[in-house]
Structures are given as structure tokens and as C-alpha cells.
Structure 1
Amino acid sequence: SISPLKNFVAGGFGGACLLLAGHPLDTIKVRLQTQPKAAQYVLYTGTYDCLRKTVSKEGILGLYKGMGAPLAGVAPMMAISFFGFGLGKQLQQTDPGKPLTHTQIFLSGCLAGVFTTVIVAPGERIKCLLQVRRKSASYCHKLKHRTNRKVFECLLEDVSKNGLYFLTYEYLKHFLTPEGQSVSQLSTPKILLAGGVAGILNWTIALPPDVLKSNFQTAADGKYRGLVDVLRTLLREEGPKALYKGFNAVFLRAFPANAACFLGFEVALKGLNIIAPGW
């Protein structure tokens, strides 16, 4: 049977695994996305150049800048996400012996997105500002003049994105399960593969909105009227390729981070089923 409570606890552990595996490349991604346009001075020529310069100037800890806020938020965020996903499945499940349809799984994932939109907003905003800051005073100025309304506007796309994310993972789990075996018996390499591919597909669709969000959140106050204004400005000044800034860093991060997330979730869930079967 589906237990939203177990999903909550296991999802929190999975979120911690995701952050530890993916934050360094997330920092690289944000810095690439928010650097000046090509006509101006280019800070970084690519993923490797950004990595090299960051480590050279700031040390290895420079890759973990801004980790404090998401560290406090990502575990509960993923816990809420997996809780919402589990609750969505539980609400739609009429027969425990009958698998849910793809549509039902997608809708369950969308419910997870609704839940996490509220949780993720403050930490996501602070993280982006910390990752691109050069001086503490600049960070404080931007933080003071941001409104929560703008952050929530940036995160509305998470609802459908979460639906696709969970649908892809669940589909791949069943696809990779040998005939005659239970999905719960899926091997660790196959769980990693399913989680990693789900993460890559998720970011293939989500990268352009993420670029808009990063530029909107880190721009000077009043520079943009909204995400549509960011889109128009980027297309006019840099062309369509601007929507895929940080492409390499995103996909280098997406596979290991999401593979670690789902593996952590599955391991924690199995452990909970053993020590607390009645939950």
C-alpha cells in the first residue's frame, strides 16, 4: 500500500542526496546563465572554464556557495514533493492490486509540484543571489528589494515539470523491471539509470524557464517587468541560444543528482518498510 508518510521521510533523505551530488554543478550553471552577454566582457567561456576559475579564485568551497539556504530547504522540499506524489497516488488508487495509469501518475506528480512551489520559493531565491554575489553589500541590497510575488511567478512551471519528472521515473522503473519480477526488486544500477534519465528529460524541457528565472531573480531591481520581458530581452540581445546557457553544466549535474535522489528515496523507503511496516 502507498504511504504518504513514508514517502515524506524517504523523500527528505533523497533530497539530501540530490543536493550533495548536484550543488557544485548547480553553482556553475547559475554563473554561466547570469554572466554578461557576449558583446560585453565574458567571464567564463564554458563549463570547464567556469569550474577552473571558481576553484582557482575561491577554492573548492566556492562550488558550494549558497548551499546553506537550500540545505535547510531541499530536504523538506523533497519530503513534501514525495509526500504530495504519494498522496496523489493514494487518492487515485481504487484497487491496491491494480497499477495506476500514466495519466494518474502524471497528476500525482503535478500535485507534488503544487505542494513544493510554496516550500522551495524562499530558498531558491536566496541560493541564486548567493551563487552570483561578488560583495555582501550587493547581495543585501538585492535581497531587500525582491518581493515574494516575483519568486512565486518564477516557480509556477514546477507543477507540470514535476508531473513529467515522476511519470518518467515510474515509467522507466516498470520498463526496466524484468518480466515476472516486482518493481520493488529493481537493482541499484537500474534505479540510478531511471532516476538519472528522468532528471535529464526534466531539465531538457525546464532549462529555458530556468534561465529566465535565474536572470529575473538576480537582475537589478526594476530591470525586468516579468518573465516575458526577460525572454524578449534575451532573444533580442543574445538570440535563442541564450535560453540554453549553462547547458553542459545542467546535464552534467542532472544525471548524478537525480540518480542519487531516487536511489536515496528507494533505499530509505525500503528501510522504513522494515523498521516501521505499520506507517
Structure 2
Amino acid sequence: MSDNVAHALAGAGGGIISMAVTYPLITVNTRLQVQRTKDSDSAYAGNMDALRKIISAEGIAGLFSGLESALFGAALTNGVYYYFFEAVKATFERASQRKTLSTVESMVSGAVAGAMTCIITNPIWVVNTRLTVKQKSQDKEESTTLQAFAEIIREDGVLALWQGIIPALILVINPIIQYTAFEQLKNRVQRFRKLGSLDFFVLGAISKLAATSITYPYILLKSRMQLKQSKNEGERYDSLADGLRKVIAQEGIAGLYKGIESKLLQSVLTASFLFMSKEALFSYAVKLLILLGARRSLAGAK
């Protein structure tokens, strides 16, 4: 068996760890993204105000709304992404007889992996977005992931699970930028010395900072389009272009960057922990496959 499965398992494990560590920031960011007005008393004035109000109204548990679906989504998303990324990467390496990818090859690998990941995992993130923005009630039990899935299908139809897929596919450029930057930076540093855990942490942070800063407006639109769409014409986004136009008209250019502070912090920390833990888990994933008889030896392992 090739290393693709080992990379997928390590990526899934890294995704779970990074998601668990940074989830409160995701909750704050998502609620700020979907908030369209600050007029009500319950509206969030900013990141710290959102953090304070969520804890005050819902307790610490409110910061972890939808964590179950997020952990599953993170494991599947990173597992699928790394599987396809490494598969395409290996194809390029065999064809070129080189150990490292060119910038274009990194971008193509990221595009293929990102597109496959979006199509396969979008339903999970639709459910997670709705669970994350749904405020906890003291007298009402929170919906489980499966209940939320069933509710969306029952009320909005199966296709609603792929709401926001267009901006999600456009956002494939995010991991393309991230992984291309990471691969190129990693290749340059490796010319001088062997990389350690701290190197992967820092390189992951730098690559994700660049990717998120560039693509944030699409991230915001994707979150809003994944919500149950309002019947109100002014609040419903019929397309990506329609959503972009309405956000600018109603909230100004600044509306496209609502909550970006917490998103940048969360994204950078997530990527840092993901790259660091993924690299650390890879050798364990290989050993697990050997133990299960799915791999003969460590030969060829990264």
C-alpha cells in the first residue's frame, strides 16, 4: 500500500487535534460572520464582546456548539485532502523523477485535493455551521449531528446539504495558496537543515496567514450561504455574486471582513497544530498499517 493512506490517517488525526484546540475561536468567528446587524441587544459588537456574551448566556459549553460534527468534519476533510494531495504529488514525482514539486505542480495537487474534499465534505460543514450559530437554550436539549442532518433533509431537501458549494469550490484557492506556500517554504528550509516540530508549526502559520487573508470574503459568504436561507429577498443570497453585492450594499466593504481577527488567529493556530501534529503522527500511522498487515515495511516512508 502506498503512503497515501498513512498521510490520510495522520492528516485526520492532526485535523482532530487542531480543531479541538481552536474550536472556541471558530464559534466566535462563525457567529460574527453570519450576523448582519448590530442593532439588537444580543448582537455582538466584536470578538471579545461575542466571547463574553456567549459565555454569559450559554456558559463555556456555548463555545463548543457543534463540536461533534466539527471533529468528524475535520478528520474527514483532512484525511480526504491529504489522501488526494499525496496521490497527485506522487504521480508528479514519478513522472518527473524529482523528490520535490514545482510551484505549478503543488498548485495542481492542491486544486485536485481541494475540489474532491469540498464535494465530499460540504454536507458536514453545512450541518456544523447551523449547529455553531444556533444558540444554546437552557431548557432545550441541543440537536445532535444526525438530528441536524435529518432536519435539513426533511425541511430543505437533500440538495440543501450542498448549499455554499460554489464559494466552497472557489475557496479551493485557500488550500492551494496554503499548501503551495508550505511546500515551497519547506523545500527551501530543508536545503539547509532537517525540519523539526517547531519548523512545521511556524511554516504552517505563515502559509495559512497568507491564504486566509486573501480569501476571507469568500469564507464569510460560504458561511452565510450554508445557513437556512431566508424568504426575505434582502437577506437571501441567490448566488455568490448576489451575496457579494448585498453584503457590500448593506454593510459596506468592511462587512466582507467581519470577524476576520478571530478567523486569522484560529486559522493560523489550526494550521500550525495541524502541520505539526500531522508530521508527528505520520510515522505512527505507518506503523499502524504495518500492524494491520496493510503495509509490508517502512521502506519508502517519508
The number of aligned residues is 274
Q: Report the RMSD for the aligned CA atoms in angstroms.
A: 2.5
- Give the structure-2-normalised TM-score: 0.82
Preserved contact between residue 29 and residue 259 of structure 2 (Cα < 8 Å): yes
Amino acid at match of 1:234: V
Could you tell me which residue of structure 1 aligns to residue 186 of structure 2?
173
Answering whether residue 269 of structure 2 is matched by residue 256 of structure 1, we say yes
Structure-1 separation of matches of 2:130 and 2:36: 15
Preserved contact between residue 16 and residue 71 of structure 1 (Cα < 8 Å): yes
Q: Show structure 1 runs of 5+ residues with no match.
A: none
Cα drift, residue 118 of structure 1: 1.9
1:150-175 per-position Cα deviation (integer Å, ceiling 9, x unaligned):
33223111332222121111122223
Could you tell me which residue of structure 1 aligns to residue 50 of structure 2?
50
Q: Show structure 2 runs of 5+ residues with no match.
A: 291-297
Amino acid at match of 1:145: D
Structure-2 separation of matches of 1:270 and 1:110: 26
Q: Secondary structure at the match of 1:203?
A: helix
Q: Secondary structure at the match of 2:163?
A: helix
Q: Secondary structure at the match of 2:10?
A: helix
Preserved contact between residue 142 and residue 221 of structure 1 (Cα < 8 Å): no
Cα drift, residue 211 of structure 1: 0.9
Structure-2 separation of matches of 1:83 and 1:106: 15
Query: What does 1:213-228 correspond to in 2, within 5 Å?
Result: 213-218=222-227, 220-222=229-231, 223-228=236-241
Could you tell me which residue of structure 2 aligns to residue 199 of structure 1?
208
Could you tell me which residue of structure 2 aligns to residue 108 of structure 1?
109
Amino acid at match of 1:154: P
Query: What does 1:1-279 correspond to in 2, within 5 Å?
Result: 3-38=3-38, 43-93=43-93, 94-134=95-135, 143=152, 144-145=155-156, 147-177=160-190, 179=192, 181=193, 185-218=194-227, 220-222=229-231, 223-273=236-286, 276=290, 277-278=298-299
Structure-2 separation of matches of 1:97 and 1:225: 46
Cα drift, residue 38 of structure 1: 4.2
Q: Secondary structure at the match of 1:20?
A: helix
**Percent sequence identity over matched residues?**
25
Preserved contact between residue 29 and residue 246 of structure 1 (Cα < 8 Å): yes
